[in-house]
Amino acid sequence: MPKTPRRQFLKEKEAKQLLLEFSRKTGCLTEKIFGAKPQIEVVETQGAEFFFVNGKPLIARLNGALFPTLIFNDALSLLPQIVVDMGAVPYVCNGADVMAPGVRKITGDFKENDLLLIIDERHCKPLAVGSALFDSRSVRKIEHGKIVKNIHHVSDKIWGLIKSQ
C-alpha cells in the first residue's frame, strides 16, 4: 500500500526561518508578497519537501536546495535568466542540464550556485529552475559543456504535484 505524504503546517518560527532562507537565496521580499504571517504547509514525499504558502505550492526543497516552483512568478521574475534555443527545449523539459551551445542569451549577473530561470527563446516561457555551475562572467565565455544544473523543470514530480492541485 503506498504511503500517503505527511502534510502539516509549519510553526510560526519555522515558517519565518524558511522565508528568511528563501529571501536570502532569491532576493525575494517574502514579507511584502505574503504578508507578516502567511500560512505555510509542508508536504514531505520521497526526499523532497513542498511548501504551500497560503494554499499554493510555491517553494520546494530537493537535496537540500531551496528554490521557487515554476508557478511562483514573483520570485522567478527576480532570477537571472538563461534563454535556450528551441533545440534544447525538449532536453531541458526532460531534466537535462543546460549545455553552453544551446544558450542564446544570458540576462543578469550571478555567482556560482545561484538560482537561474531557464526560458525558451520563442515564447519566453519558464522551462526550468537551475543552479549555475559557473559565474555569469565565465558562462558568457564558455563555448561547450554544462553550464547550469537543472533542479526543477516542467514534467518533473514537483510539476506533477503543482498540476494536480
The string of pLDDT tens digits covering residues 36-51 is: 889 999 988 777 888 9
Instruction: Tell me the one-letter amino acid at 146.
Output: K
In this structure, are 37 and 85 located in the same domain?
no
In this structure, are 46 and 95 located in the same domain?
no
> Which domain covers residue 36, as residue numbers?
6-72
Residue 14 maps to which CATH number? 3.10.450.120
pLDDT at 141 over 70: yes
Instruction: Tell me the one-letter amino acid at 86.
Output: M
Residue 115 maps to which CATH number? 2.30.130.10
pLDDT at 65 over 80: yes
Determine the pLDDT at residue 3. 57
Considering the domain boundaries, does residue 121 fall inside one? yes
Point out the domain boundary residue: 18, 52, 72: 72
The string of pLDDT tens digits covering residues 148-162 is: 999 999 988 888 877
In this structure, are 89 and 61 located in the same domain?
no
**Pairwise CA distance, residues 43 & 7, whole Å:** 5
Considering the domain boundaries, does residue 163 fall inside one? no
All three cell numbers of 13: 518560527
In this structure, are 101 and 125 located in the same domain?
yes
Point out the domain boundary residue: 34, 53, 72: 72
Give how many domains the chain has, as a whole number.
Answer: 2
Buried b (16+ CB within 10 A) or exposed e, 52-64: bbeeebbbbbbee
Considering the domain boundaries, does residue 164 fall inside one? no
**Pairwise CA distance, residues 60 & 157, whole Å:** 11
In this structure, are 48 and 90 located in the same domain?
no
Which is it for strands 6-9 and 146-153: parallel, antiparallel or unpaired? unpaired
In this structure, are 81 and 153 located in the same domain?
yes
For residue 8, give the H/E element and its range.
strand 6-9
The string of pLDDT tens digits covering residues 80-132 is: 999 999 999 999 999 999 999 999 999 999 999 999 999 999 999 999 999 99
In this structure, are 67 and 140 located in the same domain?
no
Locate the DSSP E strands across 33-157: 40-45, 48-53, 56-62, 65-68, 81-84, 98-99, 103-107, 115-120, 126-132, 146-153
In this structure, are 26 and 101 located in the same domain?
no
Considering the domain boundaries, does residue 50 fall inside one? yes
